[in-house]
Amino acid sequence: MFRTAATRTASRFVCNSRVVTAKRTFALATRAATINAVRPAAKQFVKPLVATRGLKQINFGGTVETVYERADWPREKLLDYFKNDTFALIGYGSQGYGQGLNLRDNGLNVIVGVRKNGSSWKAAIEDGWVPGENLFDVSEAVQKGNVIMNLLSDAAQSETWPTIKPLLTEGKTLYFSHGFSPVFYDLTHVEPPSNIDTILVAPKGSGRTVRSLFKEGRGINSSYAVWKDVTGKADEKALAMSVAIGSGYVYQTTFEKEVNSDLYGERGCLMGGVHGMFLAQYEVLRENGHSPSEAFNETVEEATQSLYPLIGSLGMDYMYDACSTTARRGALDWYPIFKDALKPVFQDLYESVKNGSETKRSLEFNSQPDYRAKLESELETIRNMEIWKVGKEVRRLRPENQ
């Protein structure tokens, strides 16, 4: 068992986080000096890393990247920059909800376009969008707006493209939150017109999180990209939109890199991979006579409640450091074995993403009229797995849930 000795960990947490903060401040200053010394030609472009301005050059483990923060786009500047624009937000699912409400709360001119009387239409009305005023059907909204935010589900983007494309007239901007449709256009048939700016802002989280972080005064991290720059202002517009929809900091990418990393990540460590690993570990424990609660606690509960939050807040090295020497020795011996066993699976997965197989599968499945019912039936299977039923009971036992 990984022992984290709650009290010891708690006090070290506080003490170490101070050390980490101090170390980080020192490291940032040192990094800025190093970058300037090593790359004199780029010196004038490298901002001091302790600066309060939005744009920063950050050394990510040896690779310097540009990261933008919202400091460069205060609300007044956004209001001025977009004063003549109407955002037509097409689709009101997870992202439509989060991005739309954040844009509206930022004081920008937003209208919503969804199919009439669908579940999104009703949800939009509940959130205060008014039919005929700022809520329309899809075609009407695309006609009225000049920044067209295509936030339909990826399968629906493909399905509705023949209707939407002719309405994307010169002077408009096309916006996506995923590179899926344009990158795999041979499968999706979504080929943006060549005479308009086409940009992307992809929040790294669900629309619910885009909204909740914004309301807390924080901001999600997002990536942004430009597919087509007709006006010469597409890059700047994408950055401004990143902040307008509620991003706290923004990384530059390309449509291709965004879609490949996103599809890969969610099938891997973010969802599919971690689920598979939990199941494999749990099953072996059960086959060896461990009780359901013991198998669950050693597989999921301790991971999510004790160890993974440490990785999130202070890093993998910190998590190792917070555990017993017995745990550390074992994990240090076994992580390379897991890595070697799993790497070929990840290589296959990346190839399957890159060659379009994952896109094809997603489009075919999610275009079926009964796709929601089919997904629901698979989720029901997960709900009925012993491990996740045990989880429900274990969560109930947490003092805060009693």
Ligand X SMILES: NC(=O)c1ccc[n+]([C@@H]2O[C@H](COP(=O)([O-])OP(=O)(O)OC[C@H]3O[C@@H](n4cnc5c(N)ncnc54)[C@H](OP(=O)(O)O)[C@@H]3O)[C@@H](O)[C@H]2O)c1
Active site residues: 178
Residue 181 Cβ, how far from ligand X at the closest point, in Å?
7
Determine the Cα–Cα distance for residues 295 and 304; give it in Å rounded to an integer: 14
Q: How far apart are CA 43 and CA 316, in angstroms?
A: 33
The residue (of 115 and 290) whose beta carbon lies closer to ligand X is 115
CB of 178 to ligand X, least distance (A): 3
Q: Is 302 annotated as a binding residue?
A: yes
The answer to whether 351 is annotated as binding is no
The tokens 């995923």 sit on which residue? 178
Roughly how many angstroms between the first and final C-alpha of the chain, as a whole number?
26
Host H or E run for residue 208: helix 207-215
Instruction: For residue 182, give every residue at least 6 positions away whose Cβ sits within 8 Å of its Cβ, in sequence order, or none.
Output: 176, 188, 190, 191, 192, 198, 227, 255
Q: Which is nearer to ligand X, 61 or 162 (CB)?
A: 162
For 362, residues 6+ apart whose C-beta sits below 8 A from its C-beta are 154, 155
In angstroms, give the least distance from the CB of 111 to ligand X: 14
Separation CA 359–CA 163 (nearest Å): 22
Strands of the 135-136 sheet, one edge to the other:
56-60, 63-69, 247-252, 220-228, 197-203, 173-176, 147-150, 87-90, 110-113, 135-136
- The distance of closest approach from Cβ of residue 115 to ligand X in the complex, given in angstroms and rounded to an integer, is 5
CB of 191 or CB of 393, closer to ligand X: 191
Is 324 annotated to bind a ligand? Reply is: yes
Radius of gyration of the chain measured on its C-alpha atoms? 24
Q: Tell me if 262 is assigned to a ligand binding site.
A: yes
Site for ligand X, rule CB under 6 A:
91-96, 114-115, 118-120, 151-154, 156, 159-160, 177-178, 180, 202-203, 206-207
Annotated binding site for Mg(2+): 262, 266, 298, 302
Task: Please state the residue numbers annotated as binding site.
Answer: 262, 266, 298, 302, 324
Binding positions for substrate are 324
